[in-house]
Structure 1
Amino acid sequence: MIKDHHLVDVFIGVDVGKSNHHAVALDRNGKKLLDKALPQDEAELRGIIASLTRHGTLLLVVDQPATIGALPIAVAQAEGILVGYLPGLAMRRIADLHPGEAKTDARDAAIIAEAARTMPHTLRAIALADEQAAELSMLCGFDDDLAKQATAASNRIRGLLTQIHPALERAIGPHLDHRAMAELLVRYPTPDAQRKAGQTRVAVLLRKFAPRAGKRWAAEVFTALGEQTVVVSGTGAAGIVLPQLAAQLVQLRTSRAKILARVEELVEAHPLHLVLTSMPAVGVRTEARIITEIVGKEFASAGHLASYSGFAPVTWRSGTSIRGDHSSRKGNKVLKRALFLSAFAALKDPVSRAYYDRKRAEGKRHNQALIALARRRCDVLFAMLRDMTLYEPPQLRAA
């Protein structure tokens, strides 16, 4: 909801694009004041705003507040006018109410402007940019991309090892998240190369990166090598692919470590650091996601936060044949994943574990119990952020 909506005289709807936007401006009576395309250019955007200020207070609304919509928002905020955005789902539903099926920038901009004028409840406010949150958002997004690439590389390595030497995959695969095994495949990618290197040399290499486990892992590798004597077709090609995949995996994890170090610096400097980390199982990455996805947004209640996070249950009722509740498929998927994984990690906390066990005893499956725990933690998180207080276990609050 946009504050001071009743004071706005001109509603500017902007359908943003990579290189060009389209803007439509309406006054409070619905009269069209502007309808034109404009480039992704600061001077042009400032010119549009300046030409409309004579009509009164302005509100600029975009359909994408990040990425390609970042420049219009920044320019509007620099000019001191109100800024908001129309969520994509609301945009699609409102578009269905307008005649015609055409999909054009001009039509979309007109729909945004009309929604801003007549349906203020559909709009979301955009606060002034928080530099820390903006940097965290970019770094976390890049870290997510690196994590997906690392998972793909790891799965590909395990697939190739399973193809050419299943026993060796059983020895290396479970430890592939450790740099030692990736370095082993960079240096000695095939079973024959590892045999020629010898157990002592392999152990020295592994102990360089895993001092405690290196010798034991080397023994496991050579035990596995002894379980297969035939050479499977494709082993030669795997010897070319495996070291490159392993080197890629090492590089990806090195990059993630650098990103994590910077993320850690940013979250430790954030005013909410002590509040957020006082909650069990809220680590650096979870804290960063809470800052980027929750902080700066307004939630009327814990239920609103749970709905935004995708943890509010959805009830199905249709006559007597369809009855039940299920978890929502909507909400902020990035935040939902972060809070779900945090709830899983919180099972080491006695209070969280007791709640999880109680839900399991009620007949809920593992994932259902975890979702229930994440929903409960949403309530606690809302109260912590609302009151700016540290987490307190229930028994301490009762005392």
Structure 2
Amino acid sequence: VGANDSAISIQITQTIQQIELLDSQLEKIEAEMTDIMKFNDSVIMTIPGIGYINGGMILGEIGDIHRFSNPNKLLAFAGLDPSVYQSGNFQAKTTRMSKRGSRVLRYALVNAAWNVVRNNATFKAYYDAKRAEGRSHYNALGHCSGKLVRVIWKMLTGEVEFNLE
């Protein structure tokens, strides 16, 4: 705008076309993921707040749930487990999440946890309790993600639907 240069005009036009192409490809991928999740009809879709895309990301990253003999192993695979800080007699009072595992799974679980906190009273109460302890939003969300991992592990191993009421 305001420039009379044809080179800049061509660059802007091509950039707009690239953005439109990427948007259409993204829409096709999301539609395909939705179709796959509807076809699979997983119990994970009974969790309020988890949609087809987020559920597909979680299931795709987990793969076969029977690879994890307990929920703590799935928690570590996601990188949501606390890291250990100790040396000799010293043991840290506070720890951070390890972030050793799958970045995509961790992103999907934290995103899903926030949606579940907004859509389920049990998770909302757990989140509020962690906030009342003085924890930050993301720290409390990390704890909710850990709780969600344990719920997902139980649901997928036992083929039971979500029910916390």
TM-score normalized with structure 2 length: 0.85
Distance 1:289 1:251 in 2: 23
Contact kept in structure 1, 2:33 and 2:52, CA below 8 Å: yes
For 2:148, which of 363, 377, 398 is the aligned residue?
377
For residue 101 of structure 2, the aligned residue among 331, 339, 353 is 331
The structure with more strand, counted as a fraction of residues: 1
Task: Determine whether 1:290 maps to 2:53.
Answer: no
Cα distance between partner residues in 2 of 1:378 and 1:278: 14
Whose relative contact order is higher, 1 or 2, with alpha carbons under 8 Å and at least 6 apart? 2
Task: Map Cα deviations across residues 304-362 of structure 1 (whole Å, 9 max, x no partner).
Answer: 11111111111211256662311012012221111111112223214223222221111
8 A Cα contact 1:309 1:336, kept in partner: yes
Alignment size in residue pairs: 161
SS in 1 for 2:110: helix
In structure 2, how many angstroms separate the alpha carbons of the residues matched to 1:235 and 1:321?
68
Deviation at 1:299, TM superposition (A): 1.1
Distance 1:302 1:279 in 2: 17
Partner of 2:45: 277
Q: Which amino acid aligns with 2:133?
A: E
Deviations 1:226-270, CA, capped at 9 Å, x for gaps: xxxxxxxx7846544333222211111111111111121111111
The alignment-based identity, stated in percent, is 26
Encode CA deviations 1:59-113: one digit per residue, 9 max, x unaligned.
xxxxxxxxxxxxxxxxxxxxxxxxxxxxxxxxxxxxxxxxxxxxxxxxxxxxxxx
Determine helix, strand or coil for the equivalent of 1:315: coil
Query: Structure 2 CA distance, aligned partners of 1:257 and 1:318?
Result: 51
Residue 371 of structure 1 deviates from its aligned partner by 0.9
Aligned residue number for residue 308 of structure 1: 77
CA deviation string 1:132-186 (max 9, x = no partner): xxxxxxxxxxxxxxxxxxxxxxxxxxxxxxxxxxxxxxxxxxxxxxxxxxxxxxx
**Cα deviation, residue 281, structure 1:** 2.0
CA contact (8 A) 1:274 1:390 kept: no
The letter of the residue matching 2:117 is L
Aligned 1:160-239 pairs, distance under 5 A: 190=1, 192=2, 236=5, 238-239=8-9
Q: Output the amino acid matched with 1:335.
A: L
The within-5 A match list for 1:34-53 is none
Tell me, yes or no, if structure 1 residue 355 matches structure 2 residue 126: yes
Question: How well do the aligned residues superpose, as a CA RMSD in angstroms?
Answer: 2.2
State the distance in 2 between where 1:317 and 1:377 align. 28
Offset, 1:292: 1.9
CA distance in 1, matches of 2:140, 2:12: 40
Question: Which SS does the other structure have where 2:86 is aligned?
Answer: strand
Gaps in structure 2 of 5+ consecutive residues: none
- Give the AA of the match of 1:354: A
Amino acid at match of 1:296: D
Secondary structure of the equivalent of 1:252? helix
Larger radius of gyration: 1
Q: Verify: 1:318 aligned to 2:106, yes or no.
A: no
State the distance in 1 between where 2:8 and 2:144 align. 44
Change (3 A) 1:239 1:355: farther
Q: Tell me how far apart the structure 2 counterparts of residues 235 and 322 of structure 1 sit (CA, whole Å).
A: 66
Structure 1 residue runs of 4+, over 3 Å off? 234-240, 319-322
CA distance in 2, matches of 1:336, 1:329: 8
